Amino acid sequence: MWKRARALVLSTALVLLAACTSMGPKLESPRLSLVGIQVMSADMFAQRFKVRVLVVNPNEIELPVRGLEYQILLMGDSFADGTSNDVFLLPAKGEAEFDMLVTTNFVSAFGRLLSRVGGGKLENIEYEISGKIYVEKGILRKIPFTHQGTVDFSKQLKPIQSGPSTL
């Protein structure tokens, strides 16, 4: 008797769980891409960069972002990683741009990049950005992302007119 009751409760719970997961929207990972990287300051020990990031939300629902964790590779080499706790609303089927200020040290990042391009132009540098976006509400609170592309170091970044604040 107890075995049947336990089996009935367990199967009912599984059916309810399956129904709940099928009712919610399927979330796709937002696409983050680097729009530009600008050197803010540099010396032999550290460099500060402004990294402009474009976030595209392919989902039918808005995402209240409460921060992100990221890693940036340039030409396959670690460039920057860290977290941001800035909050912004990513509109449904919309996009937002924001700036991150990152600090690197010469030995681990920027120096290797310069040696690889060998005095050449800092245009069309291959990058990969990956990490997790943290959202304020919903069942899924961490959404992983990864994107590869090219970025131009030589382009001056203009101030952002509106949108999220600097991360």
Provide the 8-state DSSP code for 137.
S
> Can you tell me the mean pLDDT for 46-58?
90
Q: Give the Cβ contact number of residue 27 at 10 Å.
A: 17
| Domain CATH for 142 | 2.60.40.1820
Considering the domain boundaries, does residue 15 fall inside one? no
Average pLDDT, stretch 68-79? 90
Whether 9 is covered by a domain: the verdict is no
What is the average pLDDT across 110-131? 75
- Does residue 58 lie in a domain region? yes
Range(s) of the domain holding residue 90: 26-151
Q: What are phi and psi of 121, to 5 degrees?
A: -75, 145
Number of domains comprising the chain: 1
Find the range with the poorest average confidence among 42-46, 110-114, 145-149, 160-164.
Answer: 160-164
> For the chain, what percent of residues have pLDDT higher than 70?
68
Please report the pLDDT score of residue 138 as a whole number. 66
The larger pLDDT score, comparing residue 93 to residue 49, is at: 93
Whether 8 is covered by a domain: the verdict is no
Residue 95 lies in a domain: yes
Q: Band the pLDDT of 167: cuts 50, 70, 90.
A: very low
Q: Can you point out the beta strands (E) in the chain?
A: 31-42, 47-56, 63-74, 77-84, 88-90, 95-104, 125-135, 142-151
Is 165 a domain residue? no
Determine, yes or no, domain membership for 106.
Answer: yes
Chain CA centroid to CA 78, Å: 15
Say what the pLDDT of residue 145 is.
95
